[in-house]
Structure 1
Amino acid sequence: MSLTPNKSILKHVEPETQAWADAQFDWCRGFAASFTRVGLTHVVVSPGSRSTPMVLALEKTPGLHTTVVLDERSAAFMALGLSKTGTPAAFLCTSGTATTHAYAPMWEAKESRVPMIVLTADRPPRLRGKGASQTIDQVGMFGSAAVAAFDISEPLGLDKGFETGREAIKKSMEQQGPVHVNIGFDKPFEPTSWNSNAHDFVDSSELSIGPSIQANVLSHDGPSQGFQADEVTSFTSFAGERPVLVLGPTQGFHEDELLSQALSLLASQIPTLCETGARMVASVNPSKVLYGCSEKPPQATPSSILWFDRAPYSPALLSWMEWCQAQGVHMIQCSWNGEICEPFGFDTSAIKGISFATLTSWILGHEEEQDKTMHPSLHTWLETLSTDWYHQWEAENHTVTSLLNQRVESHALEADASGSTMDSEAIHQVLQAVPHDIPVMVGNSMVPRDITAMQPATKHPWIIAQRGVAGIDGNLSTAMGLSLAFQKPLVCMVGDLTMLHDMTALLSARICSYPLVIVVINNGGGKIFDTLPIAQQDSDVLKTYFTTPQSVNLETFAHAFDAVEYVGIQERRELASLPTTLNRLLTTTKDEATVGGVTVVDIQTDGTRFS
């Protein structure tokens, strides 16, 4: 079949004709083909009439999977979850207010540096601004939340659709964020003899746009604002003899084997502090080592901080980095393109950037050059680092770990009689029970902070956190997207308010082909606000305006969805059954489950934590 339509025919195509419908359907076929050509395989679709041409094209495109989700906000967050795992996904919705629900997930994608495509159907230009039903101004509607935006006023022709799709994906990958494609579809939406056209759909192997995009954080090494590929000696001199490795929440894709290998090598010789949701789990507890025992940082000041990914959020680690800035410590910010973006106010002479790709090539060698050995200058630097410095952190951490274990054991003995369950204890028990090959997504607010505060007594090697803009909306939907992409069971641990913020996600429980266990730390509201000064001044104001506990029976709530199972843990003595319960739930396939692939495990806690 010819891939390029007859342009002379397109010149004479008129809106509201069958020829127009066929031409815009061809555009959608080309656009969908661009997805499969580069390895993008999943589109989350919310129902609506205006997006009909694209829906029909997606439905018939070989190798493209579609998931239909009723609520647009949930659907967009699900597409975000799919995109986090290494290959961008897309979200499609109809026109009008449906489009506005993508705003929050787009900002999360933008700040997390996760490529994804947002497709919004729109009225054609002749009907915009004319009072037509279900019409708002959608051109550039997401503003700076989108790294790029396209408005397609005449989506006509196979080649044009393919070119637009290719350019949208390219922009999303190069700029590491969401791209908005707004498409003005005109009636009629249905092409001629759609069902008989199945054999005519574009064979993506016939299209030539370069190699498939298998997304990873190293695939686009942007211009670095700091060290370049030949500046290893300058890097080691700037870092000094007493560096500390700080791993913030992951920015970009959550699976990158080369970067993980590089970080493991650095962490084996450099004291490492990790936030919950970082690319790896270190043995050093940032909260307790830095301030928990002596209320002050270690006596020796580091020569530098090698900071990866997003800014930390734990109070102790934030305070320590601010303290380091005041002491004149050097900062090396490691990101996908070496950009410098930090909230601590380091002097420009004290901070430099380096890209993931550059640093990884120094550590692991250049694979394309068959040189897989560490750069000699970097090897010499690591060999000559102060061993006293590393041992000091090891000794301090050993003391803290022993103290944490004692507190956990002491509480277990003291709490037997009370019957109440601390938040920290419930979180600890969950992470102890989840197998290490099953990912755990944690919500925002106190859950990830509690995990960080209890490291290394409490840890899990595969924790994913949504820290782009750290909202409590869309967390369950994101977890569903992650589970679909990983094609394996997943645990999502959230607070009760986070659960309620995304309750429409449970409408999609039946799409989960692998068990998804939602663990709710049900402590009666937003306990993070208990840390505010207002908590000590006016408890009524705190409860009314901040913690906002909700009167919702989660058991009744869960049973309202016919594909959701409920397990309640009301008393502390029931925690003993948690490992058995999680093992049963996580090893049950969807076909074996009694009511579906999602289970809500409701753990009643008292809102307290280990001090």
Structure 2
Amino acid sequence: MSKTIMTTHWAHITQWHAEVVIEEWIRLGLRHLCIAPGSRSSPLVLAAQSVLAEQAAPALQLHVHFDERGLGFYALGLAKAYKAPVAVLTTSGSAVANLVPAAVEAWQTREPVLWVSADRPTELHHCGANQTLAQAPLLGPWVVAQHLQQAAEPSTHWPQVLQQLDDLWTALSEGPAHLNIAFREPLYPTQGAIEGSGFTPPPNMNEWLHDDQPYHALTTQARPDPSHPDHATPTAAEWQVFCQGQGVIIAGALQPHEARQLQRFQAMLGWPLLTEIQSQCHGHPDTWPADRSLRDANIRSALNSADRILWLGDHLTSKPLMQWLASRTETDKQVECWQVCSRPGRRDAGFPVKRAFTADVAEWLNTRPHPVEAKAWNLPPLPELTIPASTTANSTSIREVAFFHLLGHWLPDQALLFLGNSLPIRLMDSLGHARSVAEVFTNRGVSGIDGILATACGVAAARQQPLTLVLGDQSLLHDLNSMALAGSLTQPFVVIVINNGGGNIFDIMPIDSAEVKSRYFMAAHENDFAHAAAQFGWQYQAPQDLASGQAAYQTALTQPGPTLLEVKTTRGQAVSDWRACFSHTDTPSQSTT
């Protein structure tokens, strides 16, 4: 129990409001509060700081960063890694708008991030007051729940304030939530008294004040039920009928424990298992890498005979896989596609899914009875991947297809891997594997290239394990401020930036004019990142060939703190080399996207 909360004489009611919020969050289980400095949010910051000052082992850890945009993604990374709620606090005004990129990503992947925006009181809205705007609409579309708390007054009904906090906490089990909380000046205890000075907590707060439980645990009203409608269990008969078809399993984005159970389940069912880089089992024995498999005419033909598809997990990476999934259910109405995912909501853009179950994949699979008449079958062997000799022969440069083909072999056992969007994740999915890593992290909710570094910093801070991040040059340019977030990391944090002088994924576009493509789509540049690494105190190397690249990477894995490895490649080579890897197949070249 905070000694501040037990005080019976309050400097003013604003500080009481802030202390109630912080105390209830701690009781509910909040352990990480990310703070962007600002004035209007200072009551909550001071209340949180007082908790740290009072406790020998503080229950709440504070993270501070000067950039709200990077801070939002950093909190997203903490939430991904901890798999527990994380709160982000900003001041009022444009600070809140800077949270939107991270908010839409958290919304799509349903991460438990609590966005907390301080606000001006009602009387300062719609009158031209500084740093004041309607903040609720900025985040409202991207959260599962939102509460707007008015500035505290002597007549404030405090149990309602607590109930709102509890309701938002409950909602976090479904995805991100938003608390917009107004504070009236004075914002600091030293500024003197206002009306309500000497405020005594009302009698209806006595039980809460003298206990250490959240408000909902002290009342007779039921806590809102966060569970989904019961779509998590098909009947035994439905399951047996489904298993009688010729089926294939697709592994989307999974948690490691889900992937382990899936591999045991696949061995029992006997259906081919198509994996992708987010599945946590990409490249494991008895699996078929989906992107490569679907580029092979023989395997694709065999897959077209499947009339049952069991999609386990979240979003998919491979466009050929998504296209095949949509085409199978579109051309053959008898194909039955089920999906099981721990997060609610649709993620099948071509509408192939006929039944969707919201459940932990491991638990769902563990409760499936052994099928009586499952049709075990296999796919043709996967041909060895052929990396064109032209991409590896030149010892004075690095070409991306060879790098991503080899990276899976370089990764240390049980390390963490974070893959940036655009070309890096596509090339790793298509050409590489992640057999040795403990977990693969991505931002594939809306698949933006911004905030990748900040999110990876959050994951690394939470896990305290060596982490490798691979991203493109445009992603790093978007997120240079976030290099400051890695300053406190003590474990090896290796960032490999593929610098091909712009957004080379746009080479896929069928635009004839190289000048138009380079200027208006690739945003071609000649930047390097040596000075950025120096500014933020990072170790830095720029290997010139694959051998020195592997050596530099192995060295970086032994060094504490952040290291930037800048892999410079030639603009315009990556996509053509990628297509050359599959030139022997009958799959149309445009499928490389």
Please, what TM-score do these two structures have when normalized by structure 1? 0.80
1:151 aligned to 125, 148, 153, which one? 148
Q: Secondary structure at the match of 2:33?
A: strand
Residue 273 of structure 2 corresponds to 272
Task: Verify the 8 A CA contact 2:539 2:564 in the aligned structure 1.
Answer: yes
Residue 170 of structure 2 corresponds to 170
Residue 102 of structure 2 corresponds to 105
For 2:343 and 2:94, the matched residues in 1 are separated by: 35
1:241 aligned to 237, 240, 245, which one? 245
For 2:406 and 2:552, the matched residues in 1 are separated by: 8
For 1:354 and 1:44, the matched residues in 2 are separated by: 34
Q: Secondary structure at the match of 1:396?
A: coil
1:94 paired to 2:88: no
For 1:92 and 1:222, the matched residues in 2 are separated by: 29
The aligned amino acid for 2:171 is: K
Question: Per the alignment, do residues 340 and 352 of structure 1 end up closer, same or farther by CA in structure 2, a change over 3 Å counting?
Answer: farther
For 2:217 and 2:280, the matched residues in 1 are separated by: 30
1:452 paired to 2:457: no
1:554 aligned to 523, 526, 529, which one? 529
Task: Verify the 8 A CA contact 1:129 1:137 in the aligned structure 2.
Answer: no
The share of aligned pairs that are identical, in percent, is 26
Residue 589 of structure 2 corresponds to none
Q: Secondary structure at the match of 1:141?
A: helix
Q: Note the alpha carbon deviations across 1:144-180, whole angstroms, 9 max, x for none.
A: 112221111124677555433222111121xx22211
By how many angstroms is 1:450 displaced? Answer: 0.8
For 1:469 and 1:2, the matched residues in 2 are separated by: 40
Residue 584 of structure 2 corresponds to none
Question: Per the alignment, do residues 310 and 427 of structure 1 end up closer, same or farther by CA in structure 2, a change over 3 Å counting?
Answer: same
1:345 aligned to 351, 361, 364, which one? 351
1:364 paired to 2:366: yes
1:527 aligned to 504, 507, 516, which one? 504
Question: Per the alignment, do residues 341 and 471 of structure 1 end up closer, same or farther by CA in structure 2, a change over 3 Å counting?
Answer: closer
Structure 2 residue ranges without an equivalent (≥5): 52-57, 193-200, 202-207, 219-224, 582-593
1:396 paired to 2:389: no
The aligned amino acid for 1:40 is: L
Task: Verify the 8 A CA contact 2:492 2:556 in the aligned structure 1.
Answer: no
**More divergent stretch after superposition (501-510 vs 89-98):** 501-510
Residue 436 of structure 1 corresponds to 413
The aligned amino acid for 1:565 is: Q
Question: Per the alignment, do residues 354 and 32 of structure 1 end up closer, same or farther by CA in structure 2, a change over 3 Å counting?
Answer: same
Task: Verify the 8 A CA contact 1:334 1:353 in the aligned structure 2.
Answer: yes
Task: Verify the 8 A CA contact 2:292 2:430 in the aligned structure 1.
Answer: yes
For 1:203 and 1:538, the matched residues in 2 are separated by: 73
Residue 15 of structure 1 corresponds to none
By how many angstroms is 1:121 displaced? Answer: 0.8
Question: Per the alignment, do residues 152 and 127 of structure 1 end up closer, same or farther by CA in structure 2, a change over 3 Å counting?
Answer: same
Task: Verify the 8 A CA contact 1:152 1:182 in the aligned structure 2.
Answer: yes
**RMSD between superposed Cα atoms in Å:** 3.2
For 1:566 and 1:579, the matched residues in 2 are separated by: 11
Task: Verify the 8 A CA contact 1:287 1:453 in the aligned structure 2.
Answer: yes
For 2:371 and 2:396, the matched residues in 1 are separated by: 56
Q: Secondary structure at the match of 1:518?
A: strand
Question: Per the alignment, do residues 3 and 575 of structure 1 end up closer, same or farther by CA in structure 2, a change over 3 Å counting?
Answer: closer
Q: Note the alpha carbon deviations across 1:69-120, whole angstroms, 9 max, x for none.
A: 0011000111111111201111111111111001111100010111110011
For 1:530 and 1:492, the matched residues in 2 are separated by: 23
Task: Verify the 8 A CA contact 1:221 1:356 in the aligned structure 2.
Answer: no
For 2:492 and 2:473, the matched residues in 1 are separated by: 20
Residues 371-386 of structure 1 mapped to structure 2, 5 A cutoff: 375=368, 378-381=369-372, 384-386=373-375
By how many angstroms is 1:235 displaced? Answer: 2.6
**More divergent stretch after superposition (162-171 vs 434-443):** 162-171
**More divergent stretch after superposition (564-573 vs 85-94):** 564-573
Task: Verify the 8 A CA contact 1:149 1:181 in the aligned structure 2.
Answer: yes
By how many angstroms is 1:361 displaced? Answer: 4.3
Question: Per the alignment, do residues 576 and 229 of structure 1 end up closer, same or farther by CA in structure 2, a change over 3 Å counting?
Answer: closer
Q: Secondary structure at the match of 1:566?
A: strand
Task: Verify the 8 A CA contact 2:68 2:99 in the aligned structure 1.
Answer: yes
Q: Secondary structure at the match of 1:298?
A: helix
Residues 82-481 of structure 1 mapped to structure 2, 5 A cutoff: 82-85=78-81, 86-155=83-152, 159=159, 161-173=161-173, 176-191=174-189, 205-207=212-214, 209-210=216-217, 221-224=227-230, 226=231, 229=233, 231-250=235-254, 254=255, 257=257, 259-268=258-267, 269-281=270-282, 282=284, 283-294=287-298, 296-298=300-302, 301-325=305-329, 326-328=331-333, 329-336=335-342, 339-346=345-352, 351-357=354-360, 360-361=362-363, 363-365=365-367, 375=368, 378-381=369-372, 384-387=373-376, 389=377, 391=378, 393=379, 395-397=380-382, 400=383, 403-404=384-385, 407-408=386-387, 411=389, 415-417=392-394, 419-456=396-433, 460=437, 462-481=439-458
1:487 aligned to 461, 464, 471, which one? 464
Task: Verify the 8 A CA contact 1:280 1:461 in the aligned structure 2.
Answer: no
Task: Verify the 8 A CA contact 2:414 2:437 in the aligned structure 1.
Answer: no
The aligned amino acid for 2:35 is: V
The aligned amino acid for 2:279 is: A
By how many angstroms is 1:300 displaced? Answer: 5.0
The aligned amino acid for 2:518 is: K
Residue 587 of structure 2 corresponds to none
Task: Verify the 8 A CA contact 2:411 2:436 in the aligned structure 1.
Answer: no
Structure 1 residue ranges without an equivalent (≥5): 10-17, 195-199, 212-218, 366-374, 589-596
Question: Per the alignment, do residues 417 and 515 of structure 1 end up closer, same or farther by CA in structure 2, a change over 3 Å counting?
Answer: closer
Residue 478 of structure 2 corresponds to 501
The aligned amino acid for 1:396 is: P
The aligned amino acid for 1:334 is: V
Q: Secondary structure at the match of 1:379?
A: coil
The aligned amino acid for 1:153 is: Q
By how many angstroms is 1:582 displaced? Answer: 3.4
